[in-house]
Amino acid sequence: MRLTYTRSVYALTTFRLVWLKELIEKETVESKLPKRVELGSIFSFTEDNGVVCKICADAKACCDFATGKTWDLWKLDYMKRHVIQKIHSDSIAKLRRIQAGAGISCLLTESEDHRQMRMEVNDRQRSTGEQVKILIDNVLLGLSMNASMLSVMDIHDHMAKYVKLPDSWRSKNYAFEFVECIDTVVREKCMKEIREF
């Protein structure tokens, strides 16, 4: 192995397989939150093809790392730089869509029930804490007024005029879920006080 000095950084004339054991913090296809992964889970190396980014190759990205990249002088930084590039991030997003089944063919063939369920899940994920607080306050108001759950739905509809609330959340099923959540917390708190007394 020969070290060559280039632009104040040492480079190697051969690829080091130990580099694939290097840990980095990066979001993956499976997780949007950054987690520690080995470069070997992202890249592979062969003498013929050089370094191949498995993610970009699976996503059929238009970059050298998707087909195999070789250099005369090797640096670990080349791989670390690639994983923060836009092409790599776009490849991760593309593979996530494919794995989630959100491809064009899936969207065109999905049933109305599946579409409704998908839209409801998207609404939940985009919700803010403020929206949930409003819905819970409405349920609490209905309970304190000794009103029925249908009255709570009317309160939700009234509040929706002033604040954006997803339609699917205004059903009485969600009102019962909120009541159950509140009941669970109150019951646990009461039981804890009884045990401590």
The 10s digit of each residue's pLDDT in 97-138 is 887 765 566 666 778 888 888 777 776 666 677 777 787 788
Residue 194 confidence (pLDDT) above 70 = yes
Q: Does residue 107 lie within any of the structural domains?
A: no
Q: Does residue 150 lie within any of the structural domains?
A: yes
Residues 74 and 126 in one domain: no
Residue 4 confidence (pLDDT)? 44
100, 132, 165 - which closes a domain: 100
What average pLDDT does the structure give for the chain?
79
Residues 84 and 139 in one domain: no
Residues 129 and 83 in one domain: no
Q: Does residue 14 lie within any of the structural domains?
A: yes
Residue 180 confidence (pLDDT)? 80
Residues 82 and 135 in one domain: no
27-36 average pLDDT score: 84
Kindly report, residue by residue over 51-84, the tens digit of the pLDDT: 999 999 998 988 888 888 887 777 888 888 898 8
Domain count within the chain: 2
Structure-block tokens of residue 50: 């050089």
Q: What is the CA radius of gyration of the chain?
A: 27
Looking at the DSSP assignment, which residues form a beta bridge with residue 52?
Answer: 44
Q: What are phi and psi of 192, to 5 degrees?
A: -65, -40
Residues 96 and 131 in one domain: no
Is the full-model pTM beyond 0.75? no
Residue ranges making up the domain that contains 181: 122-196
